[in-house]
């Protein structure tokens, strides 16, 4: 059914729980065009891989998406998407996207979606909030392409309003809010994107003594420039450039290093990435 803005609502609520040595998807509630593919266990029963599906492939003005994920104590979950998320142009209401991840004590979540493509004249408000319990850990990225450079369509008009935050036991660890308006100075100037159309952020909770300096040393010889910073319990890596594929490649390299250092296991890339 259409909502009051004339768009379509899509919602997905998932709950993962540890059942013995296995992490299981124990609740799956969906509404509208939102689904999750059956769970996969490519690295054994402890960590479940789940692919989030949106059959229409994109969002137009007035559409809304709600993703609510809860990981119970000691659950280990990797979430990804099979394709880019597309926000199409609209002259009417904005697209509303709200994602909320809640992790109980000792749980682990990896959020590794494909990129979001914000078309010229799209209007989007996107919120991602991660709430961590004691000892819970998170690693994830966000990759955004403003406009469609391959089609010679820059982001001249529109707005992408983005909130991304990580909290532990009700206290903020990392909060970022950015508003990118098509054709604005922040897209061109060095204090903003400096003319780049793709920006990406990798965020993870720190475990042990591994720090930004170690990441910088290990990734310094890569083909794409990355910057690293740390703030208390959070490590952040950033990419700024012209290619969503190169952004994914760069952040995947960081994820490989972080997974071994923080979680004690080698990276197991989702099979859907190879199709």
Instruction: Output the average pLDDT for the chain.
Output: 90
**% pLDDT > 70, the chain:** 93
pLDDT for 120-136, tens place per residue? 999 999 999 999 999 99
Residues 208-243 have pLDDT tens digits of 666 667 777 766 665 667 888 888 889 899 999 999
> Residue 87: which H helix or E strand, with range?
strand 85-87
- Give the C-alpha separation, 163 to 96, whole Å: 12
Average the pLDDT over 11-15 and give the result.
97
Q: What is the dihedral of CA 185, 186, 192, 194, to 10 degrees?
A: -40
| pTM across the whole model | 0.93
46-83 in b/e burial notation, b at 16+ Cβ within 10 A? ebbbbbbbbeeebbbbbbbbbbebbbbebbbbbbbbee
Residue ranges covered by each domain of the chain = 17-274
85 has pLDDT over 70: yes
Q: What is the pLDDT of residues 24-55, one digit of tens each?
A: 999 999 998 899 988 999 999 999 999 999 88
């Amino acid at each position: 059914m259409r909502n009051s803005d004339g768009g379509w609502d899509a919602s997905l609520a998932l709950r993962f729980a540890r059942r013995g040595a296995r992490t299981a998807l124990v609740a799956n509630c969906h509404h509208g065009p939102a689904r999750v593919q059956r769970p996969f266990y490519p690295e054994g029963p402890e960590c479940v891989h789940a692919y989030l599906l949106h059959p229409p492939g994109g969002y137009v003005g007035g559409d809304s998406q709600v993703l609510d994920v809860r990981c119970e104590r000691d659950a280990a979950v990797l979430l990804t998407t099979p394709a880019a998320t597309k926000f199409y142009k609209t002259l009417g209401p904005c697209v509303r996207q709200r994602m909320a991840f809640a992790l109980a004590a000792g749980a682990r979540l990896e959020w590794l979606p494909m990129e979001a493509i914000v078309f010229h004249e799209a209007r989007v408000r996107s919120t991602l909030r991660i709430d961590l319990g004691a000892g819970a850990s998170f690693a994830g990225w966000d990759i955004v392409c403003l406009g469609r450079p391959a089609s010679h369509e820059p982001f001249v008009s529109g707005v992408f309003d983005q909130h991304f935050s990580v909290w532990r036991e009700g206290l903020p660890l990392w909060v970022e809010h950015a508003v990118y308006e098509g054709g604005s100075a922040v897209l061109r100037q060095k204090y903003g994107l400096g003319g780049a159309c793709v920006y990406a952020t990798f965020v993870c909770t720190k475990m042990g003594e591994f720090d930004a300096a170690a990441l910088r040393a290990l990734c310094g010889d890569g083909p794409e420039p990355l910057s690293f910073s740390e703030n208390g319990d959070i490590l952040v890596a950033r990419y700024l450039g012209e290619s969503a594929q190169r952004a994914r490649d760069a952040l995947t390299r960081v994820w490989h290093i972080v997974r071994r250092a923080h979680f004690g296991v080698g990276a197991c890339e989702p099979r859907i990435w190879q199709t």
